[in-house]
Each structure stands twice: as structure tokens, then as C-alpha cells.
Chain A
Amino acid sequence: MTDYGHDLLFGTFITPTAQPVHQAAELAVVSDRAGLDLATFQDHPYLPRFHDTWTLLSYAAARTERIHLSGNVLNLPLRPPAVLARAAASLDLLSGGRIELGIGAGGFWDAIEAMGSRRLSPGESVAALAEGIEIIRQIWAADQAGPVKVEGDYYRVSGAKRGPAPAHDIKIWVGAYKPRMLRLIGRAADGVLPSLGYLANGADDLTAINQHIDEGAQAAGRDPRAVRRLLNISGEFAPAGRAFLQGPAEQWAEDLAGLTLEYGVSAFILAADDPATIERFAAEVAPATRELVAAERG
């Protein structure tokens, strides 16, 4: 039983499809109006069937009012960190502090390489992400003295001016599954963002994920509670319960509350591309889950 005590967030994981052109942005608007906390888009800059995620985030942020937005997760190898940091700070300023930075070290290396970027081994990509996070944080730290100076093996940003400072403390959430990356999250990031569907043993794998993060945090002298545990989920509403997240909203709430209380998951991001599901998730699942968790936490 691990519960890090975070308040719960509920969001959507929206396909950034380029056809129909405005579908993804409209679903962000639906998520916003439904009262969800987060709207997120995956990022595959090598796939032409999707919108460019940064452009879509900028556009969708302008069309929404209250909801926070994030990549889920942005592809660092194709988005150099210094420029990305300024872009993120810019959008955070424009949106009044509604941007979070979901980021990943890159997964589909064949496709990344085909676009002209260098293929990295798993170990290299952890090191590159660590450098990337360092650069991003230094750019954002506008009040610190001196220019940015990160002379890494993968990124060299040396002498760049700092800033702009974002409007709020942008969280860096990393999509990760493997020990080295998870320890890096414990050390340097604000959250972990895996997809439940990619976990070989389902939610049980979250125990090990948490352990690696917690170890990384403790080794770096951080409180493990500094790292939020987010989770991409998918499910289907059905009149009668059939399986995990397949059933009525009350059952969803019990399933999700279980994840919070047992594994400390505090953000549920639902893969959904239809308004009805998004609205139901916001109206029925989110409040019921919050209630169950509040009751248990006492």
C-alpha cells in the first residue's frame, strides 16, 4: 500500500489526429467544459496523420479556459530542449499557467532516425533526457544569475540567456517504464506518466515503478512525494461490470480509487476520442473516485 497523498487529477488522452482537422482541439474544449483537469496529446513528429503536437497544444490552449494541457509525452529527440523550454514557458504565460511538460526520451527509434535524428541506446537516452531536463530547468530559472551552462554529451547549451520564467511551476512529467529512467525521475522530474496498457502485468507493475522512483528520489535527497504518479488508462462504460474499467461509472470509480490507495496513482488520463465518454468520465467517475479516496484517506 503506497499512497503519496496527492490530490487527484482527471484528464483526457486525445488522439492528435489531423483528420478531421479540428477534432482533437474540440475534444480538448469538451474536456475543459466538462470540468476535467488535464487535456493531453501524444507526440509523434514522424507521423503525418497526426498534428504537430506543440502547434496543437498552442491552438488548443487558446480555445480553452481553465484546463491544463500537456504533451503525453513530447518527443525530446525531435524537440531540442532549449527551444522547447522557451516555447513551454511562452505557452504557460499565454495561457495563464495552464501548461505542463509531459516528456519522453523517445521510443520509436527507427522513425526518429528516419527523420534525421541520431539513434540513442536506452542508456544514452536516459543521459540525454537528464541533460534535457537540466537545460529546461535552467532556462526557466530566470531569476538565477549567469547564463545557462549545460555542456552535456548530447546537448550543449552554453551561454544562452535564461527565461522567460513560466507563469507557474510547470511540472515535468516523464513517460517511463525502466529502472534507470525511473530513478532519473526520482532525481529530477515531477511526475511519472506510464500507460497502463503497456504494463506487462497490469497495475501490479506499478509497485516496482514506484520503488525505482522512490529510490532515485531518496538517493538525491528528495521526498518521494515530490513525484506525482500519473497513469494513462483506457476503458469502456457498460451497463454491467465485465472487467477492470469495463462497467458502470461506479465500478470505474472503485477501480481507480483502488489504484490511488494501493499504488499512489493520483492522475488518471483517459484515452477517449468521443465527447460522451469524456463527459461521463468527468461527471460521474471523477467525483465518485474523489469521494471514495477521501473517505479512505480519512
Chain B
Amino acid sequence: MNYGHPLTFGALVASPAGTPVEAVELARRAEELGYDLVTVEDRPDEPGLLDAWTVLGWVAGRTERVRLAPAALAVPLRDPAVLARAAASLDLLSDGRLELVLGRGGEQDAIEAMGGRRTGTDRAVAALDEAIDIVRGVLDAGEPRPLRHLGEHYRIPQAQRGPLPAHRIPIRLDGDQAPVLRLAGRKADGWSATLTAFRPAEYAAANKIIDEAALEAGREPAEIRRLLHVTAEHTVPELLALALEDGVSTFVVRADDIATLDRFAREVMPALREAVARELPAAPTAVFRPASVRAKRRPGIDYDNVPPSLAGQAVEPGDLDYARVRSTYLRGGAPGLVLRARSTAEVVDALAFVRAHPGLPFSVRSAGHGISGRSTNDGGLVLSVAAMNTIEVLDEQRRLIRVGPGARWSEVADVLRPYGWALSSGDYGGVGVGGLATAGGVGWLARKHGLTIDHLRAVEMVLADGSVVRAAEDENPELFWAVRGAGANFGVVTSFDFEVDEVGEVGWAQFVVGADDPADLLVRWGAAIEAAPRDLSGQLIMGRPRPGQPGVAQLMAMVDNDDPQTIIDQLTPVAGAGPLYQQNVVLAPYAAVLARAADGYHRAEGEPVSRSGLIEHLTPEFAAAAAELIASGAIHWFQIRTVGGAVADVPAGATAYGYRSANFSVVVMGPSRRRLDPLWDALAVHFDGLYLSFESDQRPERLADAFPPRTLERLRELKRRYDPQHLFADNFPIRTTLETR
């Protein structure tokens, strides 16, 4: 019986306390020799050996590639919940190289002597069974509820889960007695044993026990990988038989010295690899997912036919990485499948798969920051281009750069900084390039340098039919027009060419001003902004005052000028919009101002409720209405960004982003759509247009707010030409026909 797993080799390295450098030297040598795995014996009762977990942490710091495992960890002497966090840490620190092997930990006397509990053999296996649940439960960081385990051996009232490891850490069980074998079959990802512990034919019998227990538990025997400790004296024919007939896929050689490691690597590994390759037809390389993972699949998705180029990185609901990719910055998601493309060709493959799933929700994601929440969904497909994140300078003379859609704006700013360049993007460094650069891009330099899309010179994109095209003023100009403001309707951009600006150090100001009369503040701030030189762009954030607290607003502004006096002169009228409570003004590089992206992954829950409007002037009428809205308690976020200036220099029809005369972009967020929508709709009279990336309202009439009538008409024609089947239908979908309502 062979279970179809690829053949791998490991080295059980000696870790004598007397010569502590030996373990790491052996581990490093094993890595050099091409071993896949290094294991370290755990014998907490044996002072002649170093503590295995400590050795593994040390070896992780001194190796690069080889996987690491204890052999086997003595569970009775290790708190399983603490062990699980330690495992997550070691997996993270080693970039996903940890495998766990758990065992009962040797003689009961020795365990008791070390302060562990004597349990008896059968109960030791029951404890191991519980320990597996606890370890898996702690590592399941995507599960929102705390871990509660009230077992016979372990009682954990409510432990927090996590950290999320770098990869799904396989849990193997070590042992050769029937209760352990049955547990391995029922629960483990692998089984570990030592060949010398078996008489002939016993090994096959043990395998059978595992297989039967697996089948009884509704699992495939292939879910349990077989690891066998052997000695360097075992011959290739012996090992070959074990691989072919007994399904052993990992041979771990006991290596007390480098000579043994060398000899096994030289004499056994290549010959065995060759023999196995000869005897076994090429094992399918399909990603194997256990039944527990497949059970979480969503209907209507052809999981088993994900294009091979994408299968390795695809994430489905049962996968460990799902917690990292399901949600976005503000929207909780539950997609059925996330395809992670690394190249244009993979985007083409992904879109073919999407075309084969008509009717399923389909979202495209760069970094997942989008306030409108369009980059995840429930039960559908997500195409993530986060891995396509290169940033290169194409032409230093013309300040031309090429950026992948998955890059984040802080990364772009960091690359441009040494050249003395910047590209106005948004106000947060964690935002991805793709979403923003197909919608607009209202950033800290907007009034001086325009929108991000105004710097776009060309794109490469994959269209709905899978064709790869370049769009620029001189090539597919219609598409180039559409992609600048309505890109999400027409394809997936795989690279952006931007012409960026020379930007030296900038003035960066943060003020807190009194807002006891919010309407008055809005009018005065609006007037100060409109009167300010284009060097200055900024924003205002306000909320309902806390009971008993004065009303305040935060004002932020960037002045694209490196002369301190000029900066102060330009800021003074803006700061004077209200009584000044706090101020902080610094001279800094643009890249330093653009807030760093928080590391880690998005964990939003629920739906964002965000509304957007573009407005030319902050009139007293609008200001009064806005003040009322803020006071209503229906919103918890009120923010105005400055546009105008260079943004308005571009003619309205020149790009699909059409409402260029606005001087301000207003965004509000609230807890309840039902409460916010009527209040916001009532303000419509003040607005001319909206900004796609801040609008979470899905009602179709928003499309008419997003694009001027002639622009929308032109977009409909182009949609008919480039996406007649409405493949891109989840982000302000443009219908090819006018709805009659």
C-alpha cells in the first residue's frame, strides 16, 4: 500500500548536553545535504540531552530551509495550550518550517519524577487525544470564540486562540502500540515510529490498524503520513520495500555524527529516490485536503478543477490561511475560494475559472483596504493580486515607474523617496495600488498634483475574455479612458505605469481645533482651503462630542513645500478655522508621513456602512445639515478630504472619473444602513458625484451619482464591448442596458 505522498528524508540529530554545538552543526549539515527535515529527541527526563524545544528554537535561528520537528514531544510534561502557542511562534519565526510530533513521553516513573502526573498507559493516550484537540483549538486562530475544553485530563475554561501559525502545522503521533495507532488514524496528520521497534510484518499490521481507524472515522488513510526512523545501516532495498509496500513517505535517519549524515545522504537518499521514482508512477501533485477541510467547502464551486497554476496557493474555507484572507479592512467576508495570482498568466487562468462559475459573487482584491468593501464576498470567488507587488523605475529621466496592483502605497512611497519623488495616492500607506488606481486616488498632494489616476500613463490588464491588453493614450485609448475611474468594470490591471512627481520634504501638520459650532467650523475651514495655495491639501475629521466634553475636530494638512516659513504661512489660515487646542507641525519626507500599514491581516466583521459625496463648496446650508447629521448620532465618522486644484485642471470628460469640479470629498460612516441612508439621501441636493471607494451603498441609482450622464453612457458602450457577460459585476456594476424602473 502506498499513499501517494512524495518521498522525503529527515535526520534525527543528536543533542548531547555535553557538546551543545553538536545539534546545530548536525542540523546545518543536514540542511546542506538536502535533508527535508531535522528532528530532535525530546526527553525531559534525561539530563544528558538538551531540551528539544529549546534546541529547535535555536536551530530555527541558524537554518534557512529545512523543516523542524521534535521527536516526539513528551506531552505529559508540557501544557498543551502553552505548547500550541509555542508551536505557532516557532512556525512563524521559522517561516512555516515546524511539524509537531507528539508522544506519551516515555516511562511513567520518569514523568512523575519530573513533576508530571502518572496516568496509566490507556489514560495517557486519552490525554494525548485531548492534547491534540487543545493544540489544534489554540492554533485555529480564525475561530472567533475562545477555546473551551473541559476534558478528563485538561480543563481549559476559555483560552484565547492564536497566534495564527505561518502554515498548517501537521500533528503526527509517535508510538507503536494499538491505542496510539488508533488515535493516529482517527485524528493525526501523521504517524511516527521507529523501525527497530517492529518485528517483520508488524509494521504492516500497525499500518492496518491506523487505516481502519481512519476509515472508521470517515477519513482517508492517505491523510495520515507515515514517518519512520531508520538507521544508516538499513539498505536501499529494505527502505524501498517500506516505501512501496508500507507507504512510508518520510525516512528519518538517526545521526549522531556528520559522517552518518553524509553517508546516508550519499549512499541511500539518491538511490532510494531513483528507485521509488522508477517503481511508482509520478505521484499526483494535487494539493491534498483532508475531509475536515473539504467539509467546509461552499456549494457551486468546482474546487477540484482549480487551474494547476493557482491550486497551490488557493485558499478555501477549511484552510488555515482562510483567516488571513477571508475579510477585508472593514468588511467581514466568507468567500468560497480565494485565488492568489502571482503573474499575469495566473490572472488569465483565474478569470477562466471565474467564467466557468457564472452567477457566483466575484471580487478582485489588491490589499483589501477598500472602504466600500467590494473585495470580499459571501460564498463566491475572490481573485487576490496581493502577490503581484513589484515596484520598478522604468525611466529615471521621465520619472516613470511600473507598479504591480498588489503593492501597497507605503511601499511605493518608500521606493520613490530616495529619488526625491512621490506619487499622491490616498492618506494611508496600507491601501493597495490596484483598487485605488482604478478608482481615483484622493491623496495628500491632490490639490497640487491631482489624482493618482492623473499620473497613469499605461496599464497592462486582463479583460473578461482572458485577453491581455495594454491600454494607454495611444493604444486602446477608450479602455485607458475607462480604467481611470471605472477600472473595476473592465478587467484586472496587472501593472500600472505612472509618471510621478518631484516632491522633496513636505510640511505635515496635525491640529485639534474647537468645534462647538461645527457648522461654523466647516464653513470657515472650507473657505480657508479654497483660498489656500495648491501646495496645501488636507482633511478634517469630526464626531459627535462626548457628553460633557467640548466639540473638537482634527485637521490634517500637507504642504508640498520645504520652506518652513512658507509652510507656516499656508497653514495659519487653515488652523485658524476654529480655536486651536493642539498643534504639531513637522518637516518630513512624504514617505514618512504616509502612515505605515499595520502588519497582520484584516479581521473585520459585518458590513461597512459608508456613504460618500463630492461637493464644490462647504456652503452654510450644507454645513448646517452636516452639523445636524453629526449631532444625530447616526454616524460615528465624518471626514472631508480636499480635492479641487490640479484635480479640476483635467477636463471632466478626459477620464471616467468625471466629477472634477468638486473641492471636497465627504465621507461618513455609521453603524446602521437603515438609519444612515435616509439621512444621507436627504443631503443629495448638496452633492455632485461621489467617490466609488468610499461608497458602500449597493442601490443601482448610486451608479448615476458616481458618473456624469455622458460618462455613464460611454461606459455602458464600453461595457458592451469589453464585458458583455458582466463578469465584473460586483463593484459598481455598469449594466449594458438601461434599467427601466
Contacts and interface: CB of A to CB of B under 8 A. Distances in A.
A47 B160 contact: yes
23 contacts: A18-B89, A22-B93, A25-B93, A48-B85, A55-B86, A59-B61, A59-B90, A61-B57, A61-B61, A80-B77, A80-B79, A82-B44, A87-B54, A91-B54, A94-B50, A94-B55, A114-B146, A114-B159, A139-B47, A159-B112, A159-B113, A163-B47, A167-B20
A-B pairs with lowest CB-CB distance, top 4: A58-B57, A62-B61, A48-B162, A163-B47
B485 to A, nearest CB: 35
B157 A163 contact: no
Contact of A58 (B46, B61, B82, B163): B61
Contacts of B56: 58
Contacts of A238: none
A66 interface: no
Contacts of B78: 83
B53 A49 contact: no
A62 B51 CA distance: 15
Contacts of A137: none
A193 B90 CA distance: 27
Contacts of B652: none
A147 interface: yes
Contacts of B21: 94
Interface in B547-602: 599-600
Given A19-B600, A83-B44, A83-B77, A55 B57 contact: yes
Contact of B24 (A47, A78, A94): A94
Contacts of A62: 24, 57-62
Nearest to A113: B157
B734 interface: no
B92 A21 contact: yes
B19 to A, nearest CB: 9
Contacts of B159: 46, 114-116
Which of B44, B77, B78, B115 has the most chain A CB within a 10 Å cutoff?
B115
A57 B45 contact: no
A63 B93 CA distance: 11
B160 A48 contact: yes
Contacts of A95: 58
B81 interface: yes
Nearest to A158: B113
Nearest to B138: A48
B416 interface: no
Contacts of B62: 62
Given A55-B86, A90-B20, A94-B24, 9 more contacts: A21-B92, A48-B88, A58-B61, A59-B61, A94-B54, A113-B157, A116-B155, A159-B109, A160-B115
A86 B57 contact: no
A25 B89 CA distance: 12
A115 B82 contact: yes
Contacts of B156: 114-116
A196 to B, nearest CB: 27
Interface string A62-88: 110000000000000011111100110
B698 interface: no
Nearest to B62: A62
Contact of A59 (B24, B46, B60): B60
A157 B114 contact: yes
Contact of A51 (B51, B81, B163): B163
Nearest to A21: B92
A89 B138 CA distance: 28
Contacts of B82: 45, 52, 78-79, 115
Contact of B50 (A21, A157, A164): A164
A46 B79 CA distance: 12
B53 A58 contact: yes
Contact of A156 (B17, B46, B77, B115): B115
Given A52-B85, A90-B51, A82 B114 contact: yes
Contacts of A89: 17, 51
A63 B51 CA distance: 18
Given A51-B93, A62-B59, A87 B53 contact: yes
Given A25-B93, A59-B61, A82-B114, A54 B47 contact: no
Contacts of A81: 115
Interface in A32-61: 45-49, 51-52, 54-61
A45 B54 CA distance: 16
Given A19-B600, A147-B113, A163-B17, A52 B88 contact: yes
Interface in B180-197: none
Contact of B90 (A55, A93, A148): A55
Interface in B42-74: 44-48, 50-51, 53-62
A161 interface: yes
B154 interface: yes
A74 to B, nearest CB: 11
A162 interface: yes
B114 A52 contact: no
Interface in B79-121: 79, 81-82, 85-86, 88-90, 92-94, 109-110, 112-115
Interface in B253-298: none
Contacts of A157: 113-115
A114 B138 CA distance: 13
A90 B92 contact: no
Interface in A115-149: 115-117, 135, 139, 142, 147-148
A62 B64 CA distance: 13
A20 interface: yes
A177 interface: no
B141 interface: yes
Contacts of A87: 51, 53-54
Contacts of A135: 115
Given A82-B115, A116-B154, A147-B113, A63 B54 contact: no
Nearest to A135: B115
Interface string B311-355: 000000000000000000000000000000000000000000000
Which of A25, A156, A162 has the most chain B CB within a 10 Å cutoff?
A156
Interface string B7-25: 0000000000100110110
B161 interface: yes
Interface in B133-176: 138, 141, 146, 154-163, 166
B96 to A, nearest CB: 10
B163 A161 contact: no
A237 interface: no
Contacts of B44: 82-83, 86
A82 B115 CA distance: 7
A4 interface: no
A161 B46 contact: yes
A194 to B, nearest CB: 25
B599 A19 contact: yes
Given A52-B85, A156-B115, A157-B114, A164 B600 contact: no
A93 B20 contact: yes
Contacts of A79: 82
Contacts of A54: 53-54, 57, 86
Nearest to B162: A48
Contacts of A167: 20
A68 to B, nearest CB: 15
A273 to B, nearest CB: 13
A48 B88 CA distance: 9
Contacts of A160: 45, 110, 113-115
Given A20-B599, A55-B90, A116-B157, A94 B58 contact: yes
A79 B55 CA distance: 17
A164 B47 contact: yes
Which of A83, A158, A159, A162 has the most chain B CB within a 10 Å cutoff?
A83
Contacts of A20: 599
Contacts of B599: 19-20
A150 B155 CA distance: 26
A163 B48 contact: yes
A6 to B, nearest CB: 28
Contact of B161 (A18, A25, A48, A80): A48
